[in-house]
Amino acid sequence: MTEKNRALLPRELTRQVRVGDVAVGGGAPVSVQSMCTTPTSDADATLAQIARLAAAGCEIIRVAVPDAAALDGFQRICAESTLPVVADIHFDHRLAIEACRRGAAALRVNPGNIGSWERVDAVIDEAGAAGIPIRIGVNAGSLDPAYAEREDLTHVEKLVGSATSFVEHFRDRGFADIVLSAKAHGVPTTVEVNRALSRELPDVPLHIGVTEAGTARQGTVKNAAAIGTLLMEGIGDTMRLSLTADPVEEVDVAWDLLSAVGLRRLRPELVSCPTCGRCQWDLMGVASEVERRLAGVRAPITVAVMGCVVNGPGEAKGADIGLAGGRGKAVLFASGEKIRTVDESDAVDELFAEIEKRFS
């Protein structure tokens, strides 16, 4: 099938909105988000964390606005942040209104916990006047009351029904700059809900993620399973991979996932074999050191570390550059072709010297 006549992916059919200078939806690249863990009232700490996140590849940052005391810090953060800032609001619609006036690039609200529709409408109108989008965020704890207590509906149906009803209300109000999320902590529910939303609301950009996914290891696995599945199906316009960890880890995992599913490459990919009884060099130690040093490389290259000098270059011929070692020596190769043989003790340094020469 040619590019001209292939079927469009779901993410190519959504309506494009802009969060600051970042396009979301309409076939734009799937953007990477995270959320600050610093107190918003401490603008210095929050801006420092945003700078770290931006350096890691974060493209949109969300900041909590828990009370009025955070608003002055929020205003300064919006003014000085290198990333577009989304105000995360719960319960108090007045905070959402004020965040619009203080420079938010977007709002994240859950109509299920804002209160009356009159309050929700006031937020919608203020965002419309400011010309900024709203992410409607739905989760199990804050459903539309019309769906929450219905025993005839599954959990998935409650999430989808609530999300759909909220979107319809916003549209009836004349507001179309919507991004939608409906999150769960389970992988099957996350996948099923987002598949349904993509069918029911094909023009609405989806923010995808697993909420309360857990610590770095468990959260990475759950996000990879759920979000990886959705991305491979063409579903999802922007994403946050929630982890109970430093938010920079969220960004790192997000980019690794986008690379693994073939959507976007920002940094190197490491290919290494699982080792076996034939291995005659410190493959695990070398691979770990290469991985550590690759964190400072911003070239979308594939780097291989293989355990066998006989088959390694051939097995990893798709890699841009790599090492294959054994018996105190290592072969340095590029695209499957030998460059030279080096001592094992010098192998990592030789590899990175070659990376700098070829890809810097």
Structure token digits, residue 185 = 């902590």
Q: 250 with 37: CB under 8 angstroms?
A: no
**215 Cβ contact list (under 8 Å, min separation 6):** 243, 244, 245
DSSP assignment of 47-107 = HHHHHHHHHHT--EEEEE--SGGGHHHHHHHHHH-SS-EEEE--S-HHHHHHHHHTT-SEE
**CA distances, 11 to each of 29, 105, 210, 233 (Å):** 9, 22, 18, 9
| Radius of gyration of the chain measured on its C-alpha atoms | 23
Q: Nearest-CA neighbor of 241 among 316, 165, 190, 193?
A: 190
Domains and CATH numbers, the chain: 10-260 (3.20.20.20), 269-359 (3.30.413.10)
The whole-number pLDDT of residue 312 equals: 65
Count CA within 13 A, CB hemisphere, residue 223: 31
Whole-angstrom Cα distance, residue 313 to residue 324?
7
Residues of the chain with pLDDT under 50: 1
